[in-house]
A and B are shown apart, each in its own frame.
Chain A
Amino acid sequence: MNEFLQRADLVGLAAATLLASTPLVLAALGGVMSERSGVVNIALEGIMLTGAFMGYVAALATHNLWFGVGVAILSGALIAGLHAVLAIEFLVDQIVSGTVINILAVGITGVYYRTFIQQQNVAGPGTLPVWKIPFLANLPVLGPIFFQNQFVTYAMVVLVVCVHLLLFRSVWGLRTRACGEHPLAAETAGISVRFMRYGNVMLSGALGGLGGAYFSLQQVGNFLPNMTGGKGFIALAAMIFGKWTPFGAFLASLLFAASDALGSRLQFYGINIPYQITSTLPYVLTIIVVAGAVGRAIAPAAVGRPYKKS
């Protein structure tokens, strides 16, 4: 038994899960804020890809990883701003507009990847340093899981709490939820639905951009075309599974990340299932979740509906 536990490396599995959940949680938090204000955001995939790319380019140009992280956040917010303009100002169907952002992100990053990154032979900016929290990092079990991480993962954990407080304990959060449930009532009470929706979509972009920084600046230290690999869509499912709450989204993301981390380790444990089949685990789970097999998910009442002051 002891030997099995050692071989199973449960601590390593837990650490890998937290790490892999990082972009999922960040994008899911972004989804929560955007959808709570009434704007569907399937653009998160493209937002993360943009953040990953812009962050990497900025870090490469300035040799400063922190500047890269900042640019990733900013560029995520900006491209989400385009989604907001299309959806709020020009009344484009929010799914169409999100799809546009996703296609655009693939195109733009692909074109400039070829010109600015692929054909240059400069040393990469490396990855964000691992911060070992003094004393805590040496704790058994908890230390390696929680206190030996890189910046984006720490930020993710803190942001879960922050977004929870923002959404449920602040004036901004109350107004946001009002706009997502009943925009007309919110407008009547003197809240600018337009302003709140812009704000939250861009906030969601900033969170997604930070999630993008995870890929290029924390995990790989390089940019690769399409490196977000559909994680933005899984994050969306995590948001639904988490019933549009920050902590729910966090737990759901952990579950998806765990299924991912476990899938890649099954062979290690001597269980012989082809890796292609285990790699579908998060997707299958997502479908089961969206089909409502695990509790009914109820979206904000006005999500997806354009609102125009008349």
Chain B
Amino acid sequence: MPLLSVICGFIVAGFAVFLSGANPVDALVALFQGAFLERNSVSETLIATIPYIFLGLAVAIGFKAGLFNIGAEGQFYLGAIAGTYVGYSLHGLPAIVHIPLAVAAGMLGGLGYAVIPGVLKARFGAHEVITTIMLNHIALAVSDYLINRGPMGDPHASAPKTPFIQHSAELPILIPNARLHLGLLLALAAVPIVWFLIERTTVGFRLRAVGLNQTAARAAGISVGWTIVLVMAMSGALAGLAGADEVLGVSHFMPPTFSVGYGFDSIAVALVARSNPWGIVPAAFLFGSMRSGAGFMQLQTQVSADLISVVQATVIIFVAAPVMVRWLFRLRERPAIPTPLAAQEGAAV
């Protein structure tokens, strides 16, 4: 069924391309070519997949607990800022110490930033959708302030950016002559860890219980508030890791504005994977390929790279509306009314 949704997504996007007067087949071919066939493009596609794996896991872990973490983007920024700072400010460390330190700093940055909406939700019932969106805007402003001629700016650079990180903090390259870095292995390692955490540990049991029914979880003696904070912390740590990884592995410095739309993209990844950690890998690969191929497509066919958003939106619709897919394809079996994320206790959107 997710596959069916993806195909429907491409059909709708193709129709949008057709309406704009371009040839949808050309666009699709260029997208594919840009993602896989051009020089180094497979490596670039895999690089684009890495943040989506981390971020998809981050959003999925929230979904499992019934939390809608739209703040992955902001947590990504804070992780990148913290990772960059540790990356350039510490001198003379061996890589074996420096890399884990910088990665841990990134995770802490994202974690700290995600705990804010977690506490606000647990303590005051503030809906995480609103607070995380606001925190995204704040993170952008803060990073712009820090880097654009602020305390973290490189005084010698002509364009606003941070200094380069030390070589000892750079993630090692996996394949010679390409940019693919160790982050891919980190991301692939995170998948079974997150799966184990959700499915095989007490913490995971608690968070699933809270996601399924808060009242029942509370009656069973689970501290709902504490679980919410914990889930947001884990989610934020993963998003922060994505941010740090992007700096330590790819760019080696941080510009004032960085990721565009990772937050919403990662929601799409988690939804397509149905919050299943194993499903995150193919979903992230799909979105990574589209992101990596989009630039080439825009260059070749003049179709805007924003087309990817159309694909994403349509894919989410089809994944999130099983009732509609059944209706479209005349499949039987009526599902029960799904429990809405929006209608939890204390929700106020």
Interface residues, chain A, with chain B CB atoms under 8 Å away = 35, 40, 42, 86, 89-97, 99-104, 106-116, 225, 230, 233, 236-237, 240, 274, 276-277, 279-280, 283-284, 286-287, 290-293, 297-299, 303-306, 308
Q: Are A308 and B337 in contact (CB under 8 A)?
A: yes
B150 → chain A, closest Cβ, in Å?
Answer: 7
Other-chain contact of B309, A35, A106, A290 (Cβ < 8 Å):
A106
Which residues of B lie under 8 Å from residue A103 when comparing CB positions? 264, 268, 309, 312-313, 316
Q: Are B348 and A230 in contact (CB under 8 A)?
A: no
Beyond the given A115-B21, A283-B138, please list 8 additional residue pairs across the A-B interface where CB-CB is below 8 A.
Answer: A86-B321, A93-B342, A111-B306, A116-B20, A233-B130, A240-B349, A299-B347, A304-B349
Other-chain contact of B306, A42, A106, A277 (Cβ < 8 Å):
A106
8 pairs from A and B in contact (CB 8 Å cutoff):
A86-B324, A100-B316, A110-B306, A114-B20, A115-B304, A287-B126, A292-B125, A299-B347
A253 to B285, CA, bound (A): 41
Closest to A302 in B: B343
Q: Are A240 and B138 in contact (CB under 8 A)?
A: no
B99 → chain A, closest Cβ, in Å?
Answer: 30
Q: Are B321 and A237 in contact (CB under 8 A)?
A: no
Which residues of B lie under 8 Å from residue A107 when comparing CB positions? 16, 306-313
Q: Are B304 and A291 in contact (CB under 8 A)?
A: no
Q: Are A276 and B148 in contact (CB under 8 A)?
A: yes
Which residues of A lie under 8 Å from residue B138 when comparing CB positions? 280, 283-284
Interface residues, chain B, with chain A CB atoms under 8 Å away = 16-17, 20-22, 68, 70, 120, 124-127, 129-131, 133-135, 137-138, 141-142, 144-145, 148, 150, 261, 264, 267-268, 271, 302-314, 316-317, 320-321, 323-324, 327, 337-338, 340-343, 347-349
Which residues of B lie under 8 Å from residue A106 when comparing CB positions? 261, 306, 309
Q: Are A112 and B341 in contact (CB under 8 A)?
A: no
Which residues of B lie under 8 Å from residue A274 when comparing CB positions? 145, 150
Closest to B267 in A: A99
Sort A-B residue pairs by CB-CB distance and give the 4 closest, nearest first: A110-B306, A107-B309, A304-B342, A276-B145
Q: Are A304 and B135 in contact (CB under 8 A)?
A: no
Q: Are B303 and A111 in contact (CB under 8 A)?
A: yes
A29 to B126, CA, bound (A): 21
Which residues of A lie under 8 Å from residue B144 when comparing CB positions? 276
A280 to B137, CA, bound (A): 7
Other-chain contact of B126, A95, A109, A292 (Cβ < 8 Å):
A292
B254 → chain A, closest Cβ, in Å?
Answer: 15
Other-chain contact of A40, B70, B305, B349 (Cβ < 8 Å):
B349
Q: Are A93 and B341 in contact (CB under 8 A)?
A: yes
B61 → chain A, closest Cβ, in Å?
Answer: 17
A24 → chain B, closest Cβ, in Å?
Answer: 14
Which residues of B lie under 8 Å from residue A104 when comparing CB positions? 309-310, 313-314
B133 → chain A, closest Cβ, in Å?
Answer: 5
B269 → chain A, closest Cβ, in Å?
Answer: 12
Q: Are B120 and A93 in contact (CB under 8 A)?
A: no
Q: Are B306 and A280 in contact (CB under 8 A)?
A: no
A177 to B201, CA, bound (A): 44
A287 to B130, CA, bound (A): 8
Which residues of B lie under 8 Å from residue A109 when comparing CB positions? 306
B158 → chain A, closest Cβ, in Å?
Answer: 20
Which residues of A lie under 8 Å from residue B21 when comparing CB positions? 115
Which residues of B lie under 8 Å from residue A102 when comparing CB positions? 264
B244 → chain A, closest Cβ, in Å?
Answer: 22
A237 to B338, CA, bound (A): 26
Q: Are B264 and A99 in contact (CB under 8 A)?
A: yes
Q: Are A237 and B130 in contact (CB under 8 A)?
A: yes
A95 to B264, CA, bound (A): 12
A40 to B342, CA, bound (A): 8
Other-chain contact of A291, B131, B145, B303, B323 (Cβ < 8 Å):
B131
Which residues of A lie under 8 Å from residue B337 when comparing CB positions? 91, 306, 308
Closest to B307 in A: A111
